[in-house]
């Protein structure tokens, strides 16, 4: 079952259509395979709402992607002590930064929105989004039937911000 589920996720990631296939079968549209494809599509959509909402300055879209208890974290160097520290941002702060147009200053041709879904297992998933200036690793959960981002660990790309 695990091997089949992993194959189905790989197949769904490799295709752009809605049909998921497995060895010896074509056009599977019902059962566990279709459920896996639907989950994968919903996880990817939550990721796209997050990254595209940021670039669009669309606070409603960003808020839809996030669980209210989300924490977005980065490991950075404390300028006073020179030691590593963990800086956190709440869902409310991220929605406000989006509303304030934080991502809208990035020209459309410079917007990077590379979404990779690593795994979906029952009600949890993990993904990575590569933005123009940073990389986010996300944990998502299916809460009340909807996939939302519950945790983000991120880091600036090399050369984008001093400190690392």
What's the pTM? Answer: 0.78
| Residue 9: φ, ψ to 5° | -65, -40
Cβ 95 vs Cβ 62: under 8 Å: yes
Domain that holds residue 128: 2-156
**Residue 163 belongs to a domain:** no
- Give the whole-angstrom CA distance, residue 116 versus residue 13: 8
**Six-digit token string for 162:** 């001093």
In this prediction, residue 1 carries a pLDDT of 44
**Residue 161 belongs to a domain:** no
In this prediction, residue 5 carries a pLDDT of 44
Number of domains in the chain: 1
Nearest-CA neighbor of 150 among 87, 38, 93, 65? Answer: 65
- Average pLDDT by stretches of 10, the chain with 164 residues: 43 36 38 85 98 98 98 94 95 98 94 97 97 97 98 89 54
CATH number at residue 126: 3.10.450.50
In this prediction, residue 118 carries a pLDDT of 97
């Amino acid at each position: 079952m695990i091997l089949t589920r992993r194959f189905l996720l790989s197949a769904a990631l490799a295709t752009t259509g809605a049909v998921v296939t497995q060895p010896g079968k074509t056009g599977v549209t019902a059962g566990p395979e279709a459920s896996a494809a639907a989950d994968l599509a919903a996880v990817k959509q939550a990721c796209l709402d997050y990254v595209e909402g940021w670039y669009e300055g669309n606070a409603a879209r960003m808020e839809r992607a996030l669980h209210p208890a989300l924490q977005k974290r980065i490991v950075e160097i404390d300028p006073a002590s020179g030691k590593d520290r963990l800086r956190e941002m709440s869902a409310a702060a991220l929605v406000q930064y989006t509303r304030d147009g934080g991502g809208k200053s990035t020209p459309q041709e410079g917007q990077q929105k590379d979404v990779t879904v690593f795994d979906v297992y029952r009600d949890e998933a993990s993904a990575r989004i590569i933005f123009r200036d940073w990389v986010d690793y996300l944990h998502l959960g299916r809460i009340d039937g909807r996939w939302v981002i519950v945790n983000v660990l991120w880091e600036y790309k090399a050369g984008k911000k001093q400190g690392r």
